[in-house]
Amino acid sequence: MPPEETWRLLEEAVRHPQVLAVGEAGVDKLAAAPLPLQETVFERQALLAEETDKPLVIHLVKAVDELLRVRKRLLPRVPWVVHGFRGKAALAQELLHHGFYLSFGEKYQEEALNAVPLSRLFLETDESLESISRLYVRAAAVRQLSVEELVTAVRDNVCRVFRR
């Protein structure tokens, strides 16, 4: 399929009312695709998120500088969520400083999880077989919160960011 036909289909899909976000878009220095191509595609997906007023869910591997460069250039209005965050607390703080939300899966650094304000936190099971309820129990213990407090905070974030 020609690239422009692929983009047309993506745009059509994203505009469907049941689609809540654009993604998983991103930049991955370990992927086989050339970095300049990844950045071009990522920027186009980010612009689609802006155009459709839907959050952007981001796959990020060893490309923080590239991600921040695109964010600075586009100055997005819609939320950007880095999913599967595994970085250190310092990186979490840097991304938070630039307005990102962070989503944590099964594998994470506890210091990073603790560095994220509840209002910018998501949990996910994208990469694992661990149940979401088990992930909430673990994260609540790390954060020294009740599971109910954590569930409420993340639910509020989902409602605010994904307008549900």
Output the pTM of the full model.
0.94
Give the C-alpha separation, 141 to 45, whole Å.
Answer: 36
Neighbours of 49 (CB within 10 A): 25
What pLDDT, on the 0 to 100 scale, is given for residue 164?
A: 66
Tell me the sheet residues that pair with 28. 61
Digit-by-digit pLDDT tens for the chain (164 residues) are 778 898 999 999 999 999 999 999 999 999 999 999 999 999 999 999 999 999 999 999 999 999 999 999 999 999 999 999 999 999 999 999 999 999 999 999 999 999 999 999 999 998 788 999 999 999 999 999 999 999 999 999 999 999 86
pLDDT of residue 3: 82
Q: Would you give the end-to-end CA distance of the chain in angstroms? A: 34
Distant-in-sequence, close-in-space partners of 87: CB < 8 Å, separation ≥ 6: 95, 109, 112
The domain over range 3-161 is classified in CATH as 3.30.2320.50: no
- Per-residue pLDDT at 127: 79
Q: What are phi and psi of 103, to 5 degrees?
A: -115, 130
Say what the pLDDT of residue 67 is.
97
- In total, the chain counts a number of residues equal to 164
Per DSSP, 99 falls in state T
Domain ranges of the chain: 3-161
